[in-house]
Amino acid sequence: MFYVAVRILLYDKARSLITLVGVIFAVGLIFNQLGIFLGLMETSSVIIDNTPGDIWITSKNSKNFDFAQPFPEYTRNLVLGDNGVQWAEKLIVAWGIINQKEGGTEQLEIVGFNVDTGVGGPWEMKEGSTDLLRNGNFAIIDESAMGRLGNISVGEYRDVFSRRLQIVGICKGVKSFTTAPVMYMSFPLAQKLVNYLPSESTVFIIVKVAPGVPVQGVAKRLRTLLKGNDVYTKSEFSFKTRYYWAVETGVGFSFLLTIIISFLVGILIVGQTIYNSTMEHIKEFGTLKAMGADNSDIYKIIISQAMINALIGYVASLIITFLTAGLYDAIGMVLSVSWWVNLLVLLLTVCMCIIAAFISIRRIKKIDPAILFRG
Amino acid sequence: MTEALVTRELCKVYQEGSIQVTAVQPCSITLCAGEVIGLFGPSGSGKTTLLSILGCILRPTSGELSVFGQTVSHLDENQLPEIRRKYISFIFQAFNLFPALTAFENILLGLRIKGVVGSEAEDRTAKMLQEVGLGHRMHFLPRDMSGGQKQRVAVARALAADCPIILADEPTGNLDISNGRKVMELLKELASEKQCCVVVATHDNRIEDIFDRIVYMEDGFIRRIKRSDT
């Protein structure tokens, strides 16, 4: 019956092509929407995920990584008082203004970290070194910032909050959910530079738990100790940040809606074309039934048609998605296409086409034998 | 002669809203293997409905139908395909060939439904196409064939399955006189050779002489049965 399905598809070339284009369009949209969403989610917590440490301490009720409020830096001393803590580092994440070369300004996300330990700093340098950030007005910028800020080379100067900083390195892999460029500098410089931060304050404290000590136990003790702060394990804080951007801002919902619409459009396109094809062959299917074919024999033809469309459409969409991933990268966006996304989209595609086939199957079930006797 | 199809007080009533329409009035008739029977009557006389019931496509409202001694009128929708597979082949006025499949593949598909596969099916298909005079067109699509050739493919499909009962609905309806006659002669010849019971619903008077018996229907009633020698 698979052979019959293939022959029908090859015979109705125009219809098959329309179906395939529909599947490619729908699946491509699902791939892209899902990929962009997951890419955004990865981006939103990329610094948390790439920073060593087991526990993140924030001010009370901070909702995410990007918009946390400052709190006194002496809190670190209280944290270090816990026997289960191996080390604790301060980290500033704040918003700044950078002057553009051609005039005008741009917002950027400033990350101030302890250069001696590197905790919270860039994890992959393309050029320069984090060591160069010591003792001066120096900064490192992520290569993705160049889309917003124009070409930046090591050694050139940029004004941030009206203070001239020399770029001493270019890092890679650091992007912010907000798409604002990320600039690294030493903790003391960030503390001085960000004028809205109270003196002697930090935005996060990152804690490394001593080997063999349960992270949850230390987190629990710190929660009891630090009444004015929130204490999260690394995975909790990463999830909280992703959850904030995905759910609380409604971004996730809009992506989900597009995915659902794409899915439904796919069902409609595939369903419509397979249904038309079924209706066109309804007498032939009826004849098969008259000859003694079970409904299941005919279902096999229809489902095979749907599956062929699903698989060819999926593979074509996957290739297109891989080809366009580079374009996304060029415009500073991340398109996440991992094996499980591929598998999920494959399942969605198969579901989409099987559901579409069921519209025709329902019709086949109800074939009126009388149609066979109409000329 | 072996009794192929036997009806006893067979009746079909359709419910159309609150109105009951009797398409086939209670009828009893015996059709034998090796016979070619014509079902004649004007449109709406009930011949197509009777043909559908004889072909186990429609179930009678009341009465009994036996196929080679097996009572089938009480069987449900899931059991009837087995009877059709085993005993019955159809030929339709509109041929009902898959346009995407060649003549050869159309017959092969029919055989597959009947449970004949592999080289046996291929050999049988090729032989049958030769017999109906389409050996040179076996790999042609229906769109590349004339109406007469398509009907011969449909006949070959019906005969290839070696079913003992062949039911045909207006098999000459889309054909000119000469092609229609050829198809009917072919059917008669092959039916007699294979000892099939062939029932043909038609109102083509030009082929009356082909039939061993003619059943005239009107308003759902069997009005008259005429033997060819009477």
Model ipTM? 0.80
Chain segment A14-47, per-residue pLDDT in tens: 888 888 888 888 888 888 888 888 888 888 889 9
Task: Round to whole Å and give the CA distance between B96 and A284.
Answer: 5
DSSP 8-state assignment for residue B216: E
Which residues on chain A are in Cβ contact (under 8 Å) with B82?
Answer: 292
- pTM reported for the whole predicted model: 0.73
Nearest CA distance, B101 vs chain A (angstrom) = 7
Bridge partners of residue B122, in order along the sequence: none
Distances (CA, A) of A260 to A174, A255, A267: 31, 9, 11
Which of B85, B96, B170 faces A287 most closely, judged by CB atoms? B96
For the cut 60, the answer to whether the pLDDT of residue A375 exceeds it is no
CB contact under 8 A, A292 and B85: yes
CB contact under 8 A, B161 and A291: yes
Which residues on chain B are in Cβ contact (under 8 Å) with A291?
Answer: 84-85, 88-90, 110, 113-114, 161
CB contact under 8 A, A7 and B174: no
Which of B85, B92, B109 faces A372 most closely, judged by CB atoms? B92
Length of chain A in residues, anyone?
375
CB contact under 8 A, A4 and B101: yes
Task: Round to whole Å and give the CA distance between A291 and B84.
Answer: 6
Q: What share of chain A is helix, strand, coil (3-state, %, to 5)?
A: 55, 20, 25
CB contact under 8 A, B100 and A283: no
Task: Round to whole Å and give the CA distance between B88 and A77.
Answer: 92
Phi-psi region of A192 (alpha: psi -120 to 50; beta: other; left: phi over 0): alpha
CB contact under 8 A, B173 and A288: no
Chain segment A309-366, per-residue pLDDT in tens: 889 989 998 999 888 888 887 777 778 778 888 898 899 888 888 888 888 888 777 7
At A370 the pLDDT is 60
Nearest CA distance, A288 vs chain B (angstrom) = 7
Which residues on chain B are in Cβ contact (under 8 Å) with A8?
Answer: 98, 100
The pair phi, psi for residue A331, each rounded to 5°, is: -100, 15
At A281 the pLDDT is 78
Q: H or E stretch including A40?
A: helix A13-44
Which of A8, A291, A370 faces B90 most closely, judged by CB atoms? A291
Amino acid of residue A65: F
For the cut 60, the answer to whether the pLDDT of residue B230 exceeds it is no
Which of B57, B93, B174 faces A290 most closely, judged by CB atoms? B57
Distances (CA, A) of A161 to A25, A113, A189, A190, B206: 46, 18, 12, 11, 103
At A184 the pLDDT is 95
Give the count of Cβ contacts less than 8 A between chain A and B.
82
Number of Cα atoms under 13 Å in the Cβ half of residue A311: 6
CB contact under 8 A, B96 and A4: no
Chain segment B45-93, per-residue pLDDT in tens: 888 888 888 888 888 889 999 998 888 888 887 888 888 888 998 888 7
Dihedral over alpha carbons B186, B188, B193, B196 (to 10 degrees): 120
Distances (CA, A) of A300 to A5, A289, A296, A350, A354: 8, 13, 6, 15, 11
Which of A8, A290, A375 faces B173 most closely, judged by CB atoms? A375
Strand pairing class (A201-202; B70-71): unpaired
Task: Round to whole Å and give the CA distance between A56 and A157.
Answer: 33
Chain segment B172-228, per-residue pLDDT in tens: 777 778 777 877 887 888 778 888 899 998 888 888 888 889 989 888 888 888 887
Nearest CA distance, A341 vs chain B (angstrom) = 37
Which of the two residues, A81 and A15, has the higher pLDDT score? A81
Percent share of chain A, pLDDT over 70: 98
Task: Round to whole Å and give the CA distance between A173 and A182.
Answer: 10
Chain segment B97-107, per-residue pLDDT in tens: 888 899 999 99
Percent share of chain A, pLDDT over 90: 36
Which residues on chain A are in Cβ contact (under 8 Å) with B94?
Answer: 283, 374-375
Which of A7, A286, A288 faces B113 most closely, judged by CB atoms? A288
E strands, B17-160, in order? 19-32, 36-40, 62-67, 70-71, 88-91
Which residues on chain A are in Cβ contact (under 8 Å) with B81?
Answer: 289, 292-294
Nearest to B184 by CA among B204, B165, B164: B204
CB contact under 8 A, A369 and B99: no
Mean pLDDT of chain A: 87
Chain segment A200-220, per-residue pLDDT in tens: 999 999 999 999 999 999 999
